[in-house]
Structure 1
Amino acid sequence: MKLVAVTSCPTGIAHTYMAAEALEQAAEAAGHELLVETQGSAGMDPLSPQDIAAARAVIFAADVEVRDRDRFAGKPLVQAGVKQAINNPAELIAQAVDRADTDAAPAPVLVSKVDESAGVGTRLRQWLMTGVSYMIPFVAAGGLLIALAFLFGGAEVASKVNGGTFGGVTYAGVTDLSQLLATAGVPGVLFKIGAVAFSMLVPILAGFIAFGIADRPGLVPGVVGGLLATATGAGFLGGLLAGLLAGGVAYALTRVSLPRALQAVMPVVIIPLVSTAVVGVIMLLVIGSPVAAVQTGLTNWLTGMTGAGAVGLGLLLGAMMAFDMGGPVNKVAYTFAVGTLASGTPSAAMAAVMAAGMVPPLGLALATALRRRLFTDAERKAGEAGWLLGASFITEGAIPFAAADPLRVIPSIMLGSAATGGLTMAVGATSLAPHGGIWVVGLIGKPLLVLLAIAVGMVIAAVSVLAAKSIGRTENPTDPVPTTATPAAA
């Protein structure tokens, strides 16, 4: 049977391609032909209309919206998250074949980008992850540019550009390029560009949450709502609420029936005008100030954490990073840490999150090197790839192991990551970079202590998983597991 599939995850990196590979292998093993369209960070190579027309059924393995889903209208459809495609690809293939054989009624093409048949929790998670997926490239670009500016221009570069006092010297700040170059040089230019990219985090997050709910009509009110969240000081929390509000308002407006004469101007005039006005008024008069107060209180509380409080936060963030290895819980911890970078100052939470996120692939790679006979051939190969994936802060490198043996692997790597997160916070390490792993060690405060914390967590994870696998297990296992796909971008 000929099938087609689309895979897509929030970051568009590892999960997207690992799900595609797992589905392709499962289809081949079952004797079916499967073509997969990966909607990842490197763009997408769309399935041809001929391939879609010839397919008997469609599989959507996605945690964010599937772009141009109306191409698949009229086809029996199976929907799941990318983790299910990685963990149980054969089951999804069997479901697709069953739907095709029974000529099941196809799922409707909806105005909302997320399947309305899903539960409220599932839809909410997909909407939020859609916003996060579009925000992350801004995080990487802006965060690394700011980090490079500090690396080459010193800690005073922010004061030179924005104005302020640093080291007893007062700077007036700059407004045009000639002043920027004269006052702060090339590092000042990098800082300015990075700061502008970073200023778009909340508007992009809100805009694409709304896009996930209402498609294109949600973009304008979502972005404007995000800008107002920034202007009122409501920050990321305000952006989340603005995106959900904008998506809901825009979606409701698309369901309104109007006379034919007004339908032509509905998408370009009426929906943007009404939705933006409604969202703007609510953000300014209702949501902005209360959420800003909560955001400020939360930020002050976290910033003021010292001693046991900071270590506890590191333990929690580290465990979250390992819990689902790039999934929603992982992204909550990561997004929180990125928010602490918004001011352009080094972040202890960011250092803890990045260090802890490196531990699962590294710990499992070490485990496969120490006791190879406890792992399958596929796991050993995944372990070889895990060294590079872990060093590059791609936590998804641990997924093949967790998919094959979740009850032993996940608690083990959570122990290791929690230890690393706690140790990183305990020593007061910081990071200016939102991503990059070991390759941006020059942008990390107290890098040797961070590397030591990573090594400790890696050993704890490896020893824990080996101990767990030694209980009630025979060596030389033969059950295959999904192999690790090389991500399109680190």
Structure 2
Amino acid sequence: MKLLAVTSCPTGIAHTYMAAEALQKAAKEMGVSIKVQTVGSIGVENEITNDDIREAHAVIIAADTKVDKSKFQELPMIEASVQDAIKDAKNLIERAMKLEKKDFVDKVYELKQEQKKKRKGAYQHLMTGVSYMIPFVVAGGILIALSFAFGIEAFKNQGTLPAALMQIGGGSAFALMVPILSGYIAYSIADRPGLVPGMVGGLLASQIGAGFLGGIIAGFLAGYIILFLKNSIKLPKTLEGLMPVLILPLLSSLIVGLVMIYIIGKPAAALNSSLSNWLQNLQQGSAIILGLILGLMMAFDMGGPINKAAYTFAVGTLGTGEPSAVMAAVMAAGMTPPLGIALATFIARNKFTKEEREAGKAAFFLGISFITEGAIPFAAADPLRIIPSIMIGSAVTGALSMLFKVTLAVPHGGIFVLPIPNAVSRLGLYTLAIIIGTVVTAILVTTLKQKRE
């Protein structure tokens, strides 16, 4: 029996490949042939061909973003999240093996409806938009940081390299951030017809000062307006070709644009401005509490919905192109869990298996790269001891980062962006916050875990 699978997570970095590896490992143990296509940050890898589909019994879609399932319409299908694949790949494979092609239509429909209720909806649409937005924010943020390397105000001298870097990073990549977010939220809801009104609404949100929050509203508005228009407008077959190229983009862009300008724009702009002012005027105690809460969120589910909510909030604070204290706290808190576990496997070797000690080495490199998911295998194996430990360590790091008033100009990259001059303020104190949180995590893990025979 041959199975197929597709894995994809919002950032396309860690969960995508961990889910693929879990499915491959489980299939090997069960004696089942499986081919896994990954849809990650670098695109499609190990792509499934038509020959694979003809030979396959069923397909497993383990994804938290929108995946093109049209080519699998002849196969029985299991839909799940990447977390399901990581935690219980065997169960997914067993369910896929039990499916019969003659029951395809009914079973796939039931599974789709069940999954839509449980795992899709607003969160998936938002994460689809975020996943497409992140490369623009990362590229733009690093280019802005490189511009700052010549001096915080060097970009003001027109015609210079710092000015060019700021124009590319801040004036172009960052300018596309909100339209891309809005466009792909709408795309997740309504497929390709949602792109035009979504991006138009996102651009308007940027222009009227509604920013990141306005872009999210515009994306959802555009997606659901497209669905409404598609269901409401019925044309003769001879004119159906006008729907995707003229009627839908024109009417949806008009409606979204007018709603953003006259109804949603001003309240969203006021809310965005209030949030920015609140962050700028945080008192010391409030800032520390915010850092602590963000740290807890980053470690709680290590790449899941709560982690992504904290990260998305932090990315939104970079929208002005200015370095952000919130972004600094979130990245530091996200690095701490895998780094703390890696340190624990080194200082308390007798409390970890040989396989776990080897995984600790990988967790170290994931941690310094700001990939919190490196802690997942350890948390899955011993959640009652690991999860509280990493949450406390990350909370300490987030609170210290805010206490030290560190700011960060880039949304990703871990230690590899820290050497860029002016990318992070107070580099020594920032490093100290990460080290302290790492040590706290390691101490808690080694204290709570029992010796292994």
What TM-score results when the alignment is normalised by the length of structure 2? 0.95
> Counterpart of 1:202?
178
Give the whole-Å Cα distance in 1 for the aligned partners of 2:198 and 2:211.
14
Q: Residue 423 and residue 432 in structure 1: after superposition, are their counterparts in 2 closer, same or farther (change >3 A)? A: same
Matches within 5 A, 1:79-118: 79-100=79-100, 103-104=103-104, 105-108=106-109, 117-118=115-116
Question: Does structure 2 conserve the Cα–Cα contact (< 8 Å) formed by 1:73 and 1:106?
Answer: no
Matches within 5 A, 1:248-259: 248-255=224-231, 256-259=233-236
Q: Which one of the candidate residues 380, 391, 411 is aligned to 1:403? A: 380
2:345 matches 1:368: yes
Give the whole-Å Cα distance in 2 for the aligned partners of 1:311 and 1:232.
32
Give the whole-Å Cα distance in 1 for the aligned partners of 2:219 and 2:353.
45
Displacement of 1:115 in angstroms is 6.3
2:427 matches 1:429: no
What CA deviation, in whole Å up to 9, does each residue of 1:173-197 have, x standing for no partner? xxxxxxx31xxx1111001100111
What CA deviation, in whole Å up to 9, does each residue of 1:224-247 have, x standing for no partner? 010111112111111111111111
Question: Does structure 2 conserve the Cα–Cα contact (< 8 Å) formed by 1:157 and 1:191?
Answer: no
Residue 229 of structure 1: SS of its match in structure 2? helix
Question: Does structure 1 conserve the Cα–Cα contact (< 8 Å) formed by 2:80 and 2:115?
Answer: no
What CA deviation, in whole Å up to 9, does each residue of 1:145-202 have, x standing for no partner? 00110012x11135x16xxxxxxxxxxxxxxxxxx31xxx111100110011101111
> Counterpart of 1:217?
193
Give the whole-Å Cα distance in 2 for the aligned partners of 1:18 and 1:253.
39
What CA deviation, in whole Å up to 9, does each residue of 1:67-107 have, x standing for no partner? 3x100002111111111111111111111112248845352
> Counterpart of 1:485?
none
Question: Does structure 2 conserve the Cα–Cα contact (< 8 Å) formed by 1:75 and 1:106?
Answer: no
Q: Residue 120 and residue 200 in structure 1: after superposition, are their counterparts in 2 closer, same or farther (change >3 A)? A: farther
Give the whole-Å Cα distance in 2 for the aligned partners of 1:140 and 1:396.
19
Give the whole-Å Cα distance in 1 for the aligned partners of 2:201 and 2:432.
43
> Counterpart of 1:462?
442
Question: Does structure 1 conserve the Cα–Cα contact (< 8 Å) formed by 2:79 and 2:115?
Answer: no
Question: Does structure 1 conserve the Cα–Cα contact (< 8 Å) formed by 2:370 and 2:412?
Answer: yes
Give the whole-Å Cα distance in 1 for the aligned partners of 2:113 and 2:41.
22
> Counterpart of 1:283?
260
What letter corresponds to residue 127 of structure 2 in structure 1? Answer: M
Displacement of 1:120 in angstroms is 6.7
Matches within 5 A, 1:19-58: 19-45=19-45, 46-58=47-59
Give the whole-Å Cα distance in 2 for the aligned partners of 1:145 and 1:451.
22
**Greater helix fraction, Structure 1 or Structure 2:** 2
2:312 matches 1:332: no
> Counterpart of 2:149?
151
Displacement of 1:377 in angstroms is 2.8
Question: Does structure 2 conserve the Cα–Cα contact (< 8 Å) formed by 1:157 and 1:188?
Answer: yes
Q: Is 322-331 or 39-48 further displaced after alignment?
A: 322-331
Sequence identity (%): 54
Displacement of 1:279 in angstroms is 0.9
What CA deviation, in whole Å up to 9, does each residue of 1:433-468 have, x standing for no partner? 221111122321111111111111111111222223
Displacement of 1:252 in angstroms is 2.4
> Counterpart of 2:62?
61
What letter corresponds to residue 358 of structure 1 in structure 2? Answer: M
What CA deviation, in whole Å up to 9, does each residue of 1:342-363 have, x standing for no partner? 2222211111111111101100
2:358 matches 1:381: yes
Residue 341 of structure 1: SS of its match in structure 2? coil
Q: Is 194-203 or 404-413 further displaced after alignment?
A: 404-413
Question: Does structure 2 conserve the Cα–Cα contact (< 8 Å) formed by 1:333 and 1:353?
Answer: yes
> Counterpart of 1:348?
325
Question: Does structure 1 conserve the Cα–Cα contact (< 8 Å) formed by 2:174 and 2:321?
Answer: no
Residue 375 of structure 2: SS of its match in structure 1? helix
Give the whole-Å Cα distance in 1 for the aligned partners of 2:395 and 2:295.
4
Give the whole-Å Cα distance in 2 for the aligned partners of 1:379 and 1:117.
33
Root-mean-square deviation (CA), in Å? 1.9
Question: Does structure 1 conserve the Cα–Cα contact (< 8 Å) formed by 2:338 and 2:375?
Answer: yes
Question: Does structure 2 conserve the Cα–Cα contact (< 8 Å) formed by 1:323 and 1:414?
Answer: yes
Residue 449 of structure 2: SS of its match in structure 1? helix
2:238 matches 1:261: yes
Q: Is 441-450 or 13-22 further displaced after alignment?
A: 441-450
Q: Residue 389 and residue 198 in structure 1: after superposition, are their counterparts in 2 closer, same or farther (change >3 A)? A: same
Question: Does structure 1 conserve the Cα–Cα contact (< 8 Å) formed by 2:75 and 2:101?
Answer: no
> Counterpart of 2:117?
119
> Counterpart of 2:427?
447
What letter corresponds to residue 168 of structure 2 in structure 1? Answer: I
Question: Does structure 1 conserve the Cα–Cα contact (< 8 Å) formed by 2:81 and 2:119?
Answer: no
